Amino acid sequence: MKTDFCLNKQHIGTDFAILQRGKDLRECFRSDRKAIISMNESEKDLKATQQVKSKKRVAEHGEVFTNEREVNAMLDLVKHETERIDSRFLEPACGNGNFLVEVLRRKLGVVDSRYGKSQIEWERYAVIAVSSIYGVDILEDNALECQERLFSIFSKIYLGKFGTNCKLEFIKSIKFILKRNILWGDALDFTNPITKKPIVFSEWSMVTENMIKRRDFVFKFLVEKTHQFSIFNDEGNPAAIDEPVKDFPLIHFLKLG
């Protein structure tokens, strides 16, 4: 994962756009097709209409959600990136996903318009779109809700488009990617608030038509552009920041879950 991190809305490195909201840095999935269909049929849209969940959360965490109008206005400033399927976005204070939800909608809209006539093509580019979206939030319930909202939007579009031809293994792959990409953590100290383990993101790269590559990177070192002195390469020397902490073999994108 190439890095030239700058915490603002600019294009970063090789596609990494980070949405920053100043000092505001800061349930999961059902596994079977029946539950997924039920969730969408009931229109359980987890979209946050309120900007505040509670006064206590505002006081303790400065939690105020951005409403839809402002979200779209800000994303329109980088509209060309939100509509580029492989452009990576990281929201370091993602809340329950207001920004990331809209980014996903835009990306899947492009996938649908370009590749909607072929299911395998649609699936291939949809996995690229989903895997390019990252989020961190200091509150665990927000991170879980963000995962669920993103998955709900994806599954509603996918099931609505392909119906009984939908692949359960593909749905599971999307669930797995979102679980790796939307994390509970503190973007100020780059760790999980309880365990204090470092935040580790997965980079996903489509190497061939169907084979995807996963590499894991420590968030702190990507941001600070320092060497990972606690991680050593095969020669026993400190690994450079562009070296992953873990490298996974190629795998078919339908087999990730």
This prediction's pTM: 0.75
Residue-wise pLDDT tens digits, 195-208: 999 999 999 999 99
Q: Are 129 and 111 in contact (CB under 8 A)?
A: yes
Q: How confident is the model at residue 21 (pLDDT cuts 50, 70, 90)?
A: very low
Residue 8 φ then ψ, to 5°: -150, -165
Residue-wise pLDDT tens digits, 142-173: 999 999 999 999 999 999 999 999 999 999 99
Identify the pLDDT of residue 249: 97
155 SS3 class: helix
* Whole-number percent of the chain with pLDDT over 70: 67
Q: Are 11 and 27 in contact (CB under 8 A)?
A: no
pLDDT of 6 higher than 60 = no
Strand partners, 214: 204
Burial class (CB in 10 A: 0-12, 13-18, 19+), 139: buried
pLDDT of 18 higher than 50 = no
Residue-wise pLDDT tens digits, 48-64: 445 556 555 545 445 55
pLDDT, mean of residues 117-138 = 96
What does the alpha-carbon distance between residue 149 and residue 178 come to, in Å, rounded to a whole number?
Answer: 10
pLDDT, mean of residues 11-25 = 37
Identify the pLDDT of residue 17: 45
Identify the pLDDT of residue 179: 97
Identify the pLDDT of residue 222: 73
pLDDT of 19 higher than 60 = no
Residue-wise pLDDT tens digits, 87-109: 999 999 898 898 999 999 999 99
